[in-house]
Amino acid sequence: MGSSCLNGTRHRQVFALALPMVLSNITVPLLGLVDTLVIGHLEQAYYLGGVAVGATVISLIFWLLGFLRMSTTGLSAQAVGAGNGELLLQVLVRALVLAWGLALLILALQHPLIELAFWLAGGSAEVQHYGREYVSVRIWSAPAALTNLVLLGWLLGNQNAQAPMWLLILGNSANILLDLWFVLDLGWQVKGAAAASVLADYLTMGLGAWLVWRTLRVRGLRPAAGFWRCCLNRVAFGRLLGLNRDIFIRALCLQLTFAFMTFQGARLGDGVVAANAVLMNFLMFISYGLDGFAYAVEAMVGKAVGERSRERFRQACALNLFWGALVAVVFTLVFALAGECLVGLITSIPEVRAQAELYLPWLVLMPLAACWCFILDGIFIGTTRGREMRDMMLVSTLVVFFPVWWLARELGNHGLWLAMFCFMLARGLTLAWAWWRLDRRQGFTGEAV
């Protein structure tokens, strides 16, 4: 990987893709913090617990389908690297067809899905009640939310980070403003927070459709003769579904760990689940900040695969790993020095503040353990190596997360956070091993090793 990958041009290329995504990604957990902020200043902890459980249920449903963005980013980046405009358009259409079909399925099955989710969630009667209120409204954003995953992934795969940045910033800013209006001004409480998210998702979809249309015009992409027959070809869809199946299993494991944190916290009491909601929002800040560099490496290595350039692939990996680690150190310092102040800004409920401050040290350590898995995930997504991602996530979840929690369950909430810490560390270590093995045996780009 050598010194050639550390020149100024390559660093600028990383930041041209990563910085807009970091800035826009920060608005995502900021939205969660605003939800927590406006609900956290209501008079009872169960309002905050209800939103935490309800938002977790929605995340479990929607973000299990995060493969819509991931596979679209990798496949479109490879099409760009290969200079294949027809394939680039096919990637978009296939992903949209799949997203709309899944959205309709979610709406059709919403009642059994909600019943199952809250049966698993547990928690007090009040937390369950307000969590159901949240989900019953938020579920109607499914068509827009899944479409937005595809549009975001396709735009990023086109090596365009500016368009996704505006997509996320506009959508999340609208969500925050509507949140404040509906909850604080109109007094809609939990339903107001959910309604704000629904409206913002549809606004984002409108902007995303316009940005994609503009990109198609700039690139001069139009369906050629026989496009629809090729696009809807059963074999091509089968390959897409195979890739998405592996990424889905990976996402299922990831969401199960986060959902388990919330649901098990709910069983430890309203104060614990509310405190965990505060800390999980901080963890989302870490995740989305590091994901900016993960998105950058997805686009860069995907293009390198399309170009069949092993040198560019290794440069992209080295640069993004370096900057991801540096950002993780910054996060650690912020939470170490200002963590208690940040908790106080989010909630004024004494019980919740005390509980959150008790478990805050886990957030101080988390960025250093987690930064590697985010960047390595991006490498495997950009190279569309879904099987390896799936296998390493299964190991991290079934061999590390749940066994560690079981052995440490007597520690209560500390045991939960210990399991999460070990899970993040294991993801990075297992993916690094898989990366080393693949790069040594056959490479990622198809160029001779």
DSSP string, 349-374: -HHHHHHHHHHHHHHHHHHHHHHHHH
Crossing angle of the two packed helices 234-267 and 45-62, in degrees rounded to 10: 160
Query: Is residue 301 over pLDDT 80?
Result: yes
Instruction: Report the pLDDT averaged over residues 294-318.
Output: 86
- Among 393, 382, 384, 383, smallest CA distance to 431 is for 393
Helices (H) and strands (E) counted in the chain, each on its own, are: 17, 0
* Strand runs labelled E in 368-426: none
Tens digit of pLDDT for each residue in 228-282? 777 777 777 787 888 889 988 998 898 789 878 877 887 888 778 888 888 887 8
Answer whether residue 448 shows pLDDT above 50.
no
DSSP letter at 63?
Answer: G
Provide the mean pLDDT of the chain. Answer: 83
The residues, any chain, with a CB within 8 Å of residue 68's CB and separated by 6 or more, are 95, 98, 99, 102, 146, 149, 150, 153, 244
Mean pLDDT confidence for 12-22: 71
b (16+ CB within 10 A) / e for 81-95: beeebbbbbbbbbbb
Which residue would you say has higher pLDDT here, 391 or 447? 391
Instruction: Supply the pLDDT for residue 1.
Output: 46
